[in-house]
Amino acid sequence: MRNFLNPDNPVMSFITRIAYAAWLNILWFVCSLPVITAGASTTALFYVTLKMARNEEGNITAQFFQAFRDNFRFSTKVWLIMLGAQIVLAFDGYVLWHMRFTNAFWTFLTAVFIVLLAACAIVAMYIFPLMARFENTIAAMFRNSLMIGIRYLYCTAAMAAIYFIMVLIIVRFFTPAIVFGEGVCAYLCSYLLSGIFQKLVPPEETEDTDTDVGTES
């Protein structure tokens, strides 16, 4: 029993990480409630989970709010751009749905819409972790998010599967899972992203550098 309660025990370590993810999910949800702050909140969430993936986390609450403050202005600008793009895509999808199967031009427009929707989804999965890990311009963040997502398609597919499975669990099987849903997703995705991001750090940078490099080649 003593060995089971040992913090170094793999089972206890896993339970502790899930508890951290649940707490981060609560922080993320509360700080995202004004909607306009959702970008900074998501960036702060990934800042902590990326540290957890590297076993470098300290006081996760303090780190979350520090990252929230440090990235607020930049992340909010990015989030508003993304929100505007999502609104436009939602409107386009609504129009295409109601004019479906009318002519060949509809097929072309639908194909373009699907490509843009996929690009938007890829950017949404990568841009907040990138902002949490690196510094760059807004244009470069969007461009790099798309390029990295396309280059590492297996990682992109795995991340999409993580989010899909979590949504499925919450909607169909266990609604209370929403308590830790986004936190767990961010934590699992951070494990996938940690190795990729390490490859993007210039050789001269030390391992403990978190936000002082860009991903633009």
Q: For position 58, what pLDDT does the model report?
A: 82
Q: Would the pLDDT of 177 be above 80?
A: no
Q: For position 141, what pLDDT does the model report?
A: 95
Q: Is 25 a domain residue?
A: yes
For the chain, give the mean pLDDT: 85
- Which range has the worst mean pLDDT, 68-72, 87-91, 211-215? 211-215
Q: For position 209, what pLDDT does the model report?
A: 40
Q: For position 10, what pLDDT does the model report?
A: 62
Q: Would the pLDDT of 37 be above 90?
A: yes
Q: Would the pLDDT of 114 be above 50?
A: yes
Q: Would the pLDDT of 207 be above 80?
A: no
Q: Would the pLDDT of 24 be above 90?
A: yes
**Which residue did the predictor score with more confidence, 121 or 204?**
121
Rounded Cα–Cα distance for residues 65 and 63 (Å): 6
Nearest-CA neighbor of 132 among 192, 46, 21? 46
Find the DSSP H helices in the chain.
Answer: 10-32, 38-53, 60-98, 104-133, 138-151, 153-168, 181-200
Q: Is 207 a domain residue?
A: no
Number of structural domains the chain divides into: 1
Q: Would the pLDDT of 204 be above 70?
A: no
Neighbours of 168 (CB within 10 A): 10
- Predicted TM-score (pTM) of the model is 0.84
Query: For 124-160, what is each residue's pLDDT tens digit?
Result: 999 999 999 998 999 999 999 999 999 999 999 999 9
Q: Is 216 a domain residue?
A: no
Q: Is 192 a domain residue?
A: yes
Q: Would the pLDDT of 195 be above 70?
A: yes
3-state DSSP assignment of residue 214: coil
Q: Would the pLDDT of 217 be above 70?
A: no
By percentage, how much of the chain surpasses pLDDT 70?
88
Mean pLDDT of 183-187: 91
Domain extent at residue 193: 10-200
